Structures are given as structure tokens and as C-alpha cells.
Structure 1
Amino acid sequence: MADNARIMEDINIEKLRKLVRSYLERHHYEAAVFWGDKVVTFSNGDPIDVYWLVQAYIHTSQYHRACLLINTYNLTLNGSLCYLAALCLFKVLEYQDSLSLLESAAWPSVCTPAPSSNGAMKDTESCSSTQQKQQQKKDGGFTRPIPDLDDMISLECSRQMLRAKIYEATDNSVQATECYVAALQADPLCYDALKSLTGHYMLTMKEEKDLHDSLPLEICCKNQSQIDLVRVCYETKVNKCAIDQPNLSKQMNDKSDGSTKPIRTKVDLDALPLTVAPLSNNLDIITARAEKLYYKCSFVSCFQLTRRVLEQDPYHTECLPIHIACLIELKQSNALFLLAHKLVDLYPETALSWFAVGSYYYLIGKNEHARRYLSKATTIDKVFGPAWIAFAHSFASENEHDQASAAYFKAAQLMKGSHLPLLYIGMEYTLTNNPKFAEKFFQKAVMMAPDDPFVLHELGVVNFNNEQYDAARKYLSRAVLVVQRLYGEGNNYYSIPSQWTPLLNNLGHTLRKMGQYKEALHYHYEALRLLPSEASTYTAIGFCLGLQGELEEAIEALHNSLSLHRDQTVAATLLSTFMDQLAVTEQPFPEDEDAPIPEYSNLSERIGGLRKEGIIINSAGSSSSVLCSIATNTEQQQQLAISLDHAMHDTSDIDVAPVTTASASESADTSADLLESSSVLSATSPPPNKSLLSIEDMVMDEESD
């Protein structure tokens, strides 16, 4: 022993140890392996020398050599080396052996608090460090500890993290969630655990909020400013879809004992607390603001922020999925094409790159190609939620409801904390005429996200189709209130995106079914403010006005609808009905009630009478532009006549009930079922205008005969 010590002193073993660490820090792993092996031989397997050689083996993917080295010197009783041995077994897919090492009695942290089912820490039987040392000596374990690495906080956090990864790899998401929570409780600054919980959608919104509030930040933060920093940073990662976001305020709640406790308020990422104000230009904070805007359907504002982030960091992994989603919503196929190819060239081994390629093909309508690349993304990372959702969307866009539902079910299985797969499953059941199952999944979704307006909207639609109008009104009104609170106080609809037009229209349809025509008109007019070019909104307005007896205003609204979309069958039917009703209830010439109506034996006599009255001017340079029985000089009446003639052509195959007041009302009611299905713009373009026959053409035909 004395000779060995003298030899080590002569060759300066400490200098060699520093050299090995230096090579590791500078990423010269082969040099670290070469000299680390010599140091371990000289020190006869000193634990600290074995530790650094194992690190070099791991960096060079020599996992089996690392395990063999640890077992050769019987160092699995050391916490740090036991963790590294389990990590190497995990890397070579030997999950059970790795889990056995992490849960063995030799693990130094087996006597630390263990996680319960709800993520809280429960007390277990404690062991003294003396007993551990005696057990290690009895089993012939390490002879030299590693003080810088053998702290219980780091070891327990690392142990729980590796257990969680093993459970997740074996599709045991419940156990994986508990281990991730335990890792975060052991070390609140371990962002890896929080990212896995939120990025893989393992917790619901309420569970995320409870976990965030229960983190023992006092064990790693020295003062309140540090606690504020951690909470604000973590709040950008939790409850991303929630309407009311909490934030840490500097306001303090004084207690009777003189202690203080921070009051939680809504987060304002545009005006951070003073203690963390320098983070306002941090790219992660800007990305969080962009994600909030995306869930609010403010895609243009979101795109501006994501583009700003990517200009500074083109490969920001947190921002890229949001940026890709914005490009899809804004139909920017060229930009998405360039981004996808750039990512594939640089990072072909990541799921995000192939997700971008699949998203591009989905955007341009090539769903088969999209599924091919999205499937590759899910193969690389099977818990990558956006790829699963987009994969299911590609089936749904082709009306492949069974396959879309199967993909959404798989997404729901992997994303247990997200309500979006449940929402999409319910929508598929709605499209396949299965409202009972649709409502079941919508109810599950609303339990996970009680303030999500999309879920509330779909629940209202299901109840409307089931003729449960009171329940439909409750859900739709609640969704409208959430949207108002999301975009601003009061009834300021001008700041609401046009994507919420169907919500307002559907609430109007529900109120119309309940006989509340004035309230229904209010919401239809507000929907018209959001999207003035929506033909179905004009149809709904015309329907409500007609039911109120305001036939002239109803006809004008229906004309506007047909001018925007001439294939609106409901609008054409209602227009014909209301015009027939108007013809019965009102005189065509109220100022000339006693004037005799001229009779003509044929068309020539009728045209001649019109010429004598000056309605038709027979001059070489003049031509009639519209088919109208009364000459008018106002441009508005001419446009209405043109629209009316268009409607007459388009509805020539529609049978209209006899012209009475009662039959007109009944016919309007029969059109109600068609009206609800017209709240979304048609994807097809209207047919070209048909040629119109003028009065002069009719005169020429008559004279030629």
C-alpha cells in the first residue's frame, strides 16, 4: 500500500484527475476515456475516479462498459454511481433491471419521503446515516464518498426522474406522473420534470395549478424575490389554455401572527412584476405571450410575436410548434414549406422537423403525404401531442370519421391531462349523428376545462340538436360571457376575432327557437359585425325579421344573403315565401287603389302600353339593364330587382306553399332546420351569374313572330 501511495504521488495523480475533468468539459471524450481508465487503475477503483470514467463512457455511448465498470468495483451502493448504472441500463432498453436498481434497498434515498397518488409527499420510516454507512461497509461498498454529488436533493430528484422515464417508456402514465411530481417536489428547480408534466399533458388544469401552488420553493430560494422569479417563470408553462391565469403579486396578506403570504392574481405577461421586469424581453416569456394569443384565436398577433422570437433564435424549440400552427391558420404554405425543409436538413432526428413537413402537406390538402410524415414524427416521439392531433385532423378533413376517432382516442390516451382530444372525439360523434356519445365526451372535456368556450359551444350545439333549448342557451350564453371576458369587458365585440361568429349565430338560433326574436336579432347583428361577408348571418336576420312581421326588412336581408352566396337554398325559400306573403297583405300601389288595372290580350299590346306610359324608351342608343315591371331611378331598387331575379332562377325547382299568411309562417318554420346548418361559410365558390332576358329582347322576339 505504501509503495502504491508513493507511486501515485510521484506521477501526480491529482493532476491526471483534473486533466480528465478538463477533457470532459471541453468535449474531448476519447481523451477523457483514455486517461480516466489509467487513473482508475492507479487508484484501485476509487469511487470518484470511477464516476468520471463512467461519465466519459456515457458521453461516448459505451453504456455496457459503464455498467461493467461499476459492478467490477461493487459501487452500486453509492448513490451517484447506482443512478449512473440505472441510467446506462435505461439507455440500452433494459427497463426492468434499471427499475430494480432504483428501487433496491441499497439505494441511499429509499428512506426519504415517497410520493402519494396525488403528488404530495408522505412520511416513511427514516434511516440514520450511520446505519447506511454500516450497511455499506458490511456489503463491501465504496471506500470514498463523493460529497459534491451525494446530496439527497439531487439524488432523489434524479432517481424519480429516471423512474418516470422508465414508466413512461412502458406506457404506465399514472406511475410516470407520480414520479415526475415527486421529482419536482424533491427539487422545485428541476425544470425537466415540469416540462414533461406540461409538455406531455399529464396533468389537468386544476392539477397543474395545485402543483404550482404547492412547490416548496423555500428549500431552494433564499428570499422572496427568488421565489417570485421561479413562480412567474413556471406560470408561463402551466394552465396555457385557461382563461383566468394566476400570477404572483407583490401584495401581501398580513396575518395576526405578523407573517405574510403572497396573494395570487392574474398573470400579465405584458407587465411583469418589478422584481422580474428584466424578463419582459426574454424569448421564453414572449413565446408564452404568443401561445396565449394563439388560444385566443388572435393568430395575426401571435404570428407577429413568434416571428420576432425566431428572428433572434431561429431554432427555439418552444416557439416553433406555435409558429407552425399559426402558419397553418394563416394559410402561409410557402413559408411553412421553407421552414419544414430547413428543419429537416438541420434536425432530421427530431419529431418537430417531421411534424412541420406533415403540417405543410396537411395545409395544401395532401393528407396521405401528411399522415406519412406525421406518423414518422409520432414514431420518433410517441408522446408528441401536436403530431397526434394533426394526424387525426388529416382523417377528419376527408370525412374519415372512424379513423379520425381512432387517432383522437390514441391522442386522448397519451395526453390524459388535455381536454382537446375529448373535444375532437365529441365533434366526430356529432358529425356521425351520435349526439348521446358526443355529449358524454363534451361533458368530460368541460370537467377538465370548465371555462373553455369551444367546449361550451359544442355542448350548446348538442343540446340544440336534442331540442333542449334551455340547456343550449345556458351553455352558449356562458361561452359568450367567457369570450367577452377573454377579449375585453362589456359588449365590445369589435375586438373579438371572426372565428366566434358561429357562436353568436347559434345563440341567436337558440333564442329564436324559444320565441325571443329581439334577443336573437341582437346576437345575429353582433355576429354580422364580426364577419360582414357571412351570408348565413343575413339569412338568420331575415328569418327573425320575417317571424316578427317585418317583411320588407326581412326581404332586404335575404337579398343581401343571396348577393353574397346565391346557392343559399334556405334564403331563396324564405325570400319566395315572404314575398308571396307581402303580395297578399299589401297593395302594390297604395296611392292608386281605385285605378283600373289594364288588360292586354297578348304581350305586344302590353309592351305597347308600357311604351306609351314612357316606361320603355325605344331609342337606338338605349338598352334595358334589369327585368323590372316598374321603372325606378334609385340604384338600391335596381340592385334588389337583380337579386330577386337571381333568386327566382336559383329556386325554380322549389315548391312553395299556397300564398296565405298561415302558409307563409309554416313554410318559414320548415326552413328552420336548414338554417342552423348554414352558420359556416361554404368552401365552394358560387356558380357564375346566369344571363338575364331583358324586356326589349322579349319585344324583339314578339315582333319577329
Structure 2
Amino acid sequence: MEAYLRSWMTDALAQHQYDSAIYVGDKLLAITNSDEDAFTLARAHFDAGHYSRALACLSRADLLYRSAAAKYLAAHCQVKQNRHEDALALLGDKNPTHLAAATGSARRKLQHLHTNGAQTATHSGGPGGKGKSASRGASGNGAGRARADRSEERDLDRRAELQYEAGMCYLRGQCYARQNAFDRAKECYKDAVRINVQCFEAFDQLMKNSLMSPGEEWDFVDSLDFESVRLDSSAVDGGRQSAHEAADFTRNLYLTRLSKYARPDEFRTAIETLSTHYRLANNPDILLSKANLLATTAQHEPALALTTAILDQDPSNFACLPLHLALLYELNHPTALFALAHNLADSHPAEPATWLAVGTYYLLTARIPEARSYFSKASLMDPHFGPAWIGFAHTFAAEGESDQAIAAYSTAARLFQGTHLPQLFLGMQELALDNLAIAREYLTTAYQLCDRDPLLINEIGVCCYKETDYDSAIRHFALALSIAADNDAPASQTVDTRLNLAHALRRAERLPEALEQYDEAIRLGARTCSVFTSKGLVLLELEQPFEATVTLHEGLAISPQDPLASELLAKALALMEGVGVLAGAEEAAVDEELRGKLRGIRKRGVGRRRRGRGSEDVGGDGMELDGASRS
């Protein structure tokens, strides 16, 4: 009867018929009163969302402190009910860090046992085994295999226990994160992955919440023992090659989640390997990694094409939405933003990303109060949703409300301790307020987190410019342009940095270089009155008043009332008084040519007057308008 009930319960769970599974499991537990059946029933309650009943089932069976699996499930039930203090009381506040190296040794021991077993079987059955010695070999090998099987079983139990310990580290991190103890949460997540490198939930929390700097992320992945990945017996029997391939595959998957600012070549290699060798080129996660890399290098159009392809495959891919929304905002696509936000509001009103999309649309259309309201709603639904906090801060920055913007950016910086963006935005706000010392502190902190972001290096250059350290500003602007070129960023994305470089060169009195940068910026599309005015000022300082006049006229054609351009044009015209446009022999030749043409005109005029006097008998009606008589 027990076997029949277990089979019934297993079938019900496989078909997600949880009420049936719970009904049958309750009868099975009453008959057997076994720990295994009590745990299975508790799992059925958990899958059905009956967290209190699952916890009560485990407590009645007294499993909480006798089984790592039961302890993990009980803590998970408490986390699901937001009882984080109770979960921590059950889990304890210490991670079993001594287990971090145990997984690799267990896997290697297991692989050694399988390999030796295969070799022993080959030796006993091979040629040369005869008579009594062959019989003794068979008997000895049988005993050896039995010992190996028992050892393998113990190692498998040990591995399962390690996996549950890793899971409990992950739950401990969840509890600390809900209490805003992000440093402790980060260590818990890291220990979970160290104990079980396949604990992707913990790794995902580290990456998704940017709990580590780009350099820390790569150092952490380099420290992981990917050779400890778990393989079943058939894979291990195939030899070390399959285990090594699984380790490389897992490592490449993890590399695609790391920061794109550090070691981009390794990142691209991992993407290429997964795309070609394992046919994952169109996998949404791989496409999202490619889109993140393109967005990092300011290649927004191709990045948007990839995020659009992801959402075409899976419209509910919420991991992709923050990047997709940022790209639509950057490329000024209000219609697409409106349609997406409208669809999400209809289909997923309980998701914070839905209201992030609505807020982004209102921010793009300059309806700041509405945008702030929806960003606030998203942050209230998930207080740890960083993009909502950044959008909320952007609404204050757009209205010049620096104090509120700084407060919101500070919250984002606390939530996203491993990303440089909140620190960068804080530095930009302080620069706008001319608080240069505080701005430099924020920008330096951001630079320590990421030293390859052209926008950040540009802002450091702006800070140096405001401090009148023009040589340092020039170096930073040139470095930003160099990094953007290395990243294959479109030249149009570097116009502002190029203009900043031109201004710094002008202030440093490196006028020919400044003029070259102004010309390049104008060629790239920076055709504003202020740019032409700055170029005209450089030309005046280079004593080229005629070229300055032409340039300033172009600026005034764009903004006729600009006072600075008008003043500089007046100075340029004053400098040109009495000065010929052409120099030397060319100007004399032009003057002589003009005088010759003037004499010819006068002679033709005299001839016409003479002909007019000879035909005075013809009346006025016989004259054309130009004075010539009709034929």
C-alpha cells in the first residue's frame, strides 16, 4: 500500500495537482510515520503556497534540526512569509565557510572512485586472467566495488548536504538584504556560490544588484572551483573530458553576467564560445549580454535591436526591460515607450518594471510630476529596485531640485554598492552646484569602481576644468575620447567630450589644437550658436578677423539675438576696417580688373546717350523700358 500511495503522490506532484498530492501524502504519513514521507508532504504544502502548513508539518516530525534539507525548507517557508528574523534565528548568522573547498574534493573523490571501478572491471575481465588467481581477482574486485559503492553513496549524501548548506547561505543573504545589511548579504551570497558553484540564485543576486565592483566580480569568478560541478554517474564514467567541458561551459555562462567594463576580450570570447559551440546565439540571456556590451560602448541602435528581439520572443522578460527602456529613452522613441507601457500596465500591473516603463515615458515627454509619481510607485512595490530610484532622482535633477535628487541618488548608491552610476550622478549634481570638493570625492569613488567609463572620465575632466587645472582636464577629455574609440562607440556620441576638450585647449592657449577640435565637433553635428561663437573667439585670438566674421555670421544665423556673438562680430568687423580681404599682388590685380570693368561700363553709357540724341524725332511710345528703340 505504501508503494501505491507514493506512486499516486508522485504522479499528482508531476501534474501540479497539489491538493491531490497533499491528500494522499497525509494518508501515507499516517501509515508510515517516516521522516521521508513527512518531508515530501511538507514540500507539497510549500509548492501549493501553504507555507505555514509546510512549517508545521516539519515541526511535528521534529525534522528541523535533524535534516539539512528540512532546515532549508523551513527557513524558506519563513522567508516566503517575510519572517526574516525567525528565518535567521533558525539558520544562524554564521556561514559554514569551511565547506567552500569541500565540494571540489568530494567531486574529485567521486570521479576517482568511478574511474578506478571502471579500470578494475576491465582488468578482471581482460585477457591473462586464468585459474585460481582469476577467481581471487574477481572476488577481490567484487569486494572493492562494494566498498566503492558505499563510499560513493556517502559522497553523494555529503554533496547533497553541501547543496542544502549553500541554499541556506543564499536564504541568509536574502534575510540580510531585506534588512538593508547589504555587506553581510553579499558575503552570504558569495559563500553560497563558493560552496556550490551551481547555486545560480546567489550568483544572480550578486550580479543583478551590483553588489561587487567590476574588478571584484572578475576576481570572484576566477576564485571559483568550476571543476566541482556535479555530474551524474554516466557523465563521470565518460572520463574527465566531459567534466572539464561542463566546468568550462558553466564558467562561460557566468562570465556573460559580469561587468562589461573590465576584461571585455574575455567577455567576448565567452559569448562567442556559447554562441557557436552550443548554438546559444539566439538565447535571450546571451542576447541580453550582447546588448549590455553594446550599450556600454554607446552603440544604442544595435543594442535596441537585440532587446527588441528578446521581447519579441518573450514579452515578459523583466530582466531585459530596464535596459530596453533606457535605450528607448536615449533614442527618443516615445511612441514605442507608450505602447510598451500600456501593454505592461494591462498584463502585469503587479510588476515594478511596469511602472518603471510608465515613468520613463512621462520623463521622456517632459511630464515630470507624473514620471515622479510612477517611479515612486515602482520603488514602493520593490524598495530594492535600483532603476526606479535612479529614475526618481532623474525627475528632481530635470527640474533643478538638486537636494532631492542627491537624496534619491544616495539611496540608489546604497542599494547598488558595486556600480559606479549613482556615484557618477551624485558627482554631476555637485558639479552643477559648484561644490567641487564634494563632486571630486564622488567622482573619485566612481572611478575606483569603474575606470573605463568615458562619461565618468569626462565628468572628472569637467571638474578639473572648473578648478582651472586645464592640463589635467585636457588629459581626461583625451582619455575619454580614446576609450570611446577603443569601444567602437559612434563618433556622434563623443561630441560633448570633444567640445569640452576644445574649450580646455582654448583656455590653455593651445589655439590651433582648439580650432581643430571645434571644426571636428561642427562636422559631427554640433551646429549651435555657442559652438560657432567659441570658434569665432579662437579665430579672433589667432588674428584671423575675416574667418571669425564668417563663423560668427553662421552662429547669428542660428540665434540672431545672441549677445556674445554680436559683440564678437562687432570686434571682428572693427579689426577689418582698412584691411583688405586679399593680400599683396592678388588684391592689386583684383582692383585693376575692377577699374577696367568700370571704364568699359562708362564708355558703353556714353555711346547709348549719343544714339539717343540722334533719334529724338521718335516719340516716347517707340522706346523700350531699358531705353532701346523697337526694331
Question: TM tier, shorter chain?
Answer: 0.7 to 0.9
Q: Deviations over 1:328-371 (max 9, x none)?
A: 11222121112112112222221111111111111112221212
C-alpha distance 54-277 of structure 1, shift in aligned 2 (>3 A): closer
Give yes or no for contact 2:193–2:203 (8 Å, CA) kept in 1.
Answer: yes
| Aligned amino acid, residue 418 of structure 1 | T
Match of 1:69 in 2: 57
- 8 Å CA contact 2:546, 2:581 repeated in 1: no
Report if the CA contact (8 A) 1:228-1:275 is conserved: no
Distance 2:250 2:156 in 1: 27
| 1:104–1:437 distance in 2 versus 1, CA, 3 Å | closer
**Deviation of the 1:24 alpha carbon:** 1.8
Deviation sequence 1:467-503 (CA, Å, 0-9, x none): 111221221121111111111xxxxxxx624232110
Which residue in the other structure is 1:189 paired with?
Answer: 198
CA 1:179–1:612 in 2, change beyond 3 Å: closer, same or farther?
Answer: farther
1:608-630 per-position Cα deviation (integer Å, ceiling 9, x unaligned): xxx9999xxxxxxxxxxxxxxxx
* 2:112 aligned partner: none
Distance 1:243 1:95, change over 3 A: closer
Q: 2:252, 2:270 within 8 Å by CA — same for their partners in 1?
A: no
Separation in 2 of the partners of 1:271 and 1:155? 34
- CA distance in 2 between counterparts of 1:149 and 1:376 reads 46
* Residues 227-264 of structure 1: per-residue CA shift (max 9 Å, x gap): 33222222221113x064142xxxxxxxxxxxxxxxxx
- Alpha-carbon distance, 1:297 to partner: 2.1
Deviation at 1:146, TM superposition (A): 14
SS in 2 for 1:509: helix
Alignment partners' CA distance in 2, 1:479 and 1:553? 30
Deviates more, 1:399-408 or 1:319-328: 319-328
Matching of residue 238 in structure 1 with residue 226 in structure 2? no
How far off is 1:179 after superposition? Answer: 0.5
- Please state if 1:571 is matched with 2:565: yes
The verdict on how the C-alpha distance between 1:463 and 1:163 changes in structure 2, with shifts beyond 3 A counting, is: same
Aligned partners of 1:594, 1:319: CA distance in 2, in Å? 70
Structure 2 match to 1:60: 48
Q: Does 1:86 align with 2:75?
A: yes
- Residue 416 of structure 1 aligns to a residue in which SS? coil
Tell me if the contact between 2:103 and 2:196 (Cα under 8 Å) persists in the aligned partners.
no
Letter in structure 2 aligned against 1:485: D
Provide the alpha-carbon RMSD of the alignment: 3.0
**What is the Cα deviation at residue 292 of structure 1?**
1.6
CA distance in 1, matches of 2:184, 2:540: 61
Amino acid paired to 1:64? S
Q: Residues 483-498 of structure 1 correspond to what in structure 2 (within 5 A)?
A: 483-487=484-488, 496-498=490-492
Distance 1:509 1:14, change over 3 A: same
CA contact (8 A) 2:275 2:281 kept: no
Q: After superposition, what is the alpha-carbon deviation per residue over 1:419-477, rounded to whole angstroms, capped at 9, x for unaligned? A: 10111111111112211211111111111111211111011111111111122122112
The answer (yes or no) to whether the contact 2:99–2:162 under 8 Å persists in 1 is: no
Partner of 2:84: 95
Q: 3-state DSSP class of the match of 1:151?
A: helix
Partner residue in 1 for 2:179: 170
Question: Which structure features the higher share of helix residues?
Answer: 2
Query: In the alignment, is residue 546 of structure 1 matched against residue 540 of structure 2?
Result: yes
User: What do the CA deviations read for 1:489-535 (whole angstroms, capped 9, x no partner)?
Assistant: xxxxxx62423211011111111111111111222222223225344
Please give the secondary structure, in 2, of the residue aligned with 1:225.
helix
Q: What is the deviation of 1:176?
A: 0.2
> Which of 146, 160, 165 pairs up with 1:151?
160
Separation in 2 of the partners of 1:122 and 1:285? 28
2:576 to 565, 575, 582: 582
Q: Is it true that 1:206 corresponds to 2:215 in the alignment? A: yes
Aligned pair in 2 of structure 1 residues 149, 384: CA closer, same or farther (>3 Å)?
farther
8 Å CA contact retained: 2:229, 2:243:
no
TM-score (norm 2): 0.79
SS at match of 1:279: coil
Supply the AA of the counterpart residue of 1:276. H
* Cα displacement string for residues 102-151 of structure 1 (whole angstroms, at most 9, x for unaligned residues): 1289xxxx766167xxxx9999xxxxxxxxxxxxxxxxxxxxx9977971
Q: How does 1:194-273 map to 2 (within 5 A)?
A: 194-220=203-229, 222-240=242-260, 242=261, 244-247=263-266, 267-268=268-269, 271-272=272-273
Pairwise CA distance, 1:62? 2.0
Q: 1:460·1:472 contact (CA, 8 Å) conserved in 2?
A: yes
- 1:59 Cα deviation from its structure 2 partner: 2.4
1:291 to partner: Cα distance = 1.6
Asked if structure 2 preserves the Cα contact closer than 8 Å seen for 1:158 and 1:183, the reply is yes
Q: What secondary structure does 1:280 align onto?
A: coil
Greater shift, 582-591 or 518-527, is seen at: 582-591
Q: Distance in 2 between matches of 1:56 and 1:372?
A: 41
Where does the alignment leave 5 or more consecutive residues of structure 2 unmatched? 105-153, 231-241, 593-600, 605-631
Contact 2:360 2:371 survives alignment (8 Å): yes
- Give the AA of the match of 1:38: K
Q: CA deviation at 1:593?
A: 12
1:195 alignment partner AA = D
- Paired residues for 1:321-360 under 5 Å: 321-360=322-361
1: distance between equivalents of 2:158 and 2:87?
20
Q: How many residues align?
A: 532
Q: Distance in 1 between matches of 2:155 and 2:218?
A: 37
Structure-to-structure mapping, 1:413-432, within 5 angstroms: 413-432=414-433
Which of 514, 523, 526 is matched with 1:520 structurally? Answer: 514
Q: Does the CA contact (< 8 Å) of 1:121 and 1:182 recur in 2?
A: no
Residue in 1 that maps onto 2:39: 51
AA at the equivalent of 1:54: A
State the identity %: 31
C-alpha displacement of 1:377: 1.2
TM-score (norm. length: structure 1): 0.71
Q: Decide whether aligned partners of structure 1 residues 484 and 92 sit closer, same or farther in structure 2, where only a CA change above 3 A counts.
A: same
**Corresponding residue number in structure 2 for 1:409:** 410
3-state DSSP class of the match of 2:258?
coil
Q: Distance in 2 between matches of 1:104 and 1:188?
A: 21
1:465 and 2:454 equivalent?
no
Matched, 1:282 2:298: no
* Corresponding residue number in structure 2 for 1:633: none
The 1-side partners of 2:603 and 2:221 are apart by 84
1:284 and 1:270, CA in 2 relative to 1: closer, same or farther beyond 3 A? Answer: same
What amino acid sits opposite 2:224 in the alignment?
L
Question: Do 1:235 and 1:246's aligned partners in 2 also have CA atoms closer than 8 Å?
Answer: no
- Whether the 8 Å CA contact 2:390–2:422 is kept in 1: the answer is yes
**Unpaired stretches in structure 1, ≥5 consecutive residues:** 1-11, 124-144, 248-265, 488-494, 596-610, 615-705
Q: Distance in 1 between matches of 2:415 and 2:283?
A: 31
Aligned residue for 1:113?
98
Contact 2:68/2:164 (8 A) holds in 1: yes
2:464 counterpart letter in structure 1: N
Matched position secondary structure for 1:281: coil
Rounded to whole Å, the distance in 2 between the matches of 1:37 and 1:587 is 103
Give the counterpart letter for 2:98 in structure 1.
Answer: P
Q: Contact between 1:83 and 1:159, CA under 8 Å: does it hold in 2?
A: yes
CA distance in 1, matches of 2:212, 2:206: 6
Letter aligned with residue 384 of structure 2:
V
SS in 2 for 1:93: coil
Deviations 1:515-569 (A, max 9, x none): 1111112222222232253443333322222211122122222222222333443
Equivalent residues in 2 for 1:285-296 (5 A)? 285-296=286-297
Question: CA shift at 1:32, angstroms?
Answer: 1.4
**Contact conserved, 1:163 with 1:176, CA < 8 A, in 2?**
yes
Q: Deviations over 1:279-331 (max 9, x none)?
A: 22222211211122222222222112222222222222222222111111122
The aligned runs of 1:549-560 (5 Å cut-off) are: 549-560=543-554
Name the counterpart of 2:365: 364
CA change 1:60–1:146 in 2 (3 A) is farther
Shift in alpha-carbon separation, 1:410–1:482, aligned structure 2, 3 A: same
**Secondary structure at 2:30's aligned position in 1?**
helix
Letter in 2 for 1:169: R
C-alpha offsets along residues 63-101 of structure 1, whole Å, 9 cap, x if unaligned?
222222211121112111111111112222222221121
